Amino acid sequence: MQAYDEEAGMAKALEESLLSCGTPSDIWSCSACTFENSIKDKQCKVCLQVYDEEAAMAKALEESLLSCGGKRCFVCGKVSLSLIRLRDRDCPHGACSMDHYIKLDPMWIEIKHGLRSSFDRKEASRSRSPRSTRRR
């Protein structure tokens, strides 16, 4: 009797569930010239770039995650179904790991202060500009 490989089993189950959520594509987009080729073609018809099956599988998995409600990590761009959110409810971004959560916090503070100062400058310029006067 073979031992059950829990990690492999979980990876296969995740892959099957994700693929059932999104429809697999029968075309692939060339990374060099972006021409859309048939999945049957192992080489791009335009630039002769060889089809990279591993990269295509990674892209298909990412698209499946996105179609199932996955979101991108603001720090690295990796797609995840369970991003870690900051405590600040104003922040729409998330992180895929605790390391990225720690990096996201100061990034968000900088973004938020930049947005506030930009808003404050616009408000200040509006209050200083003379209002148009109508002649009667």
Domain extents in the chain: 1-69, 71-131
Residues 98 and 84 sit within 8 Å (Cβ to Cβ) = yes
**Residue 22, pLDDT score:** 47
Per-residue tens of pLDDT for the chain, all 136 residues: 455 566 666 566 556 655 555 445 677 778 788 888 887 888 888 898 888 777 777 877 888 888 888 899 999 998 888 899 999 999 999 999 999 999 999 999 999 999 888 887 777 777 766 655 555 5
Helices in 25-73 by DSSP H: which ranges? 53-67
Return d(Cα 35, Cα 109) in angstroms, integer. Answer: 41
Contacts by residues 97-100 (CB-CB < 8 Å, ≥ 24 positions apart)? 97/73, 100/73, 100/74, 100/75, 100/76
Beta carbons of 67 and 21 less than 8 angstroms apart:
yes
Give dist(CA 100, CA 102) in Å, integer: 5
- pLDDT computed for residue 85 by the predictor: 94
Amino acid present at 44: C
Say what the alpha-carbon torsion angle 72, 78, 84, 85 is, to the nearest 10 degrees: -30
Q: What is the pLDDT of residue 100?
A: 95
pTM: 0.53
**pLDDT score of 102:** 95
The pLDDT, as a whole number, for residue 6 is 60
Give the pLDDT score at 116: 87
Smallest Cα–Cα separation from 82: which of 92, 67, 72? 72
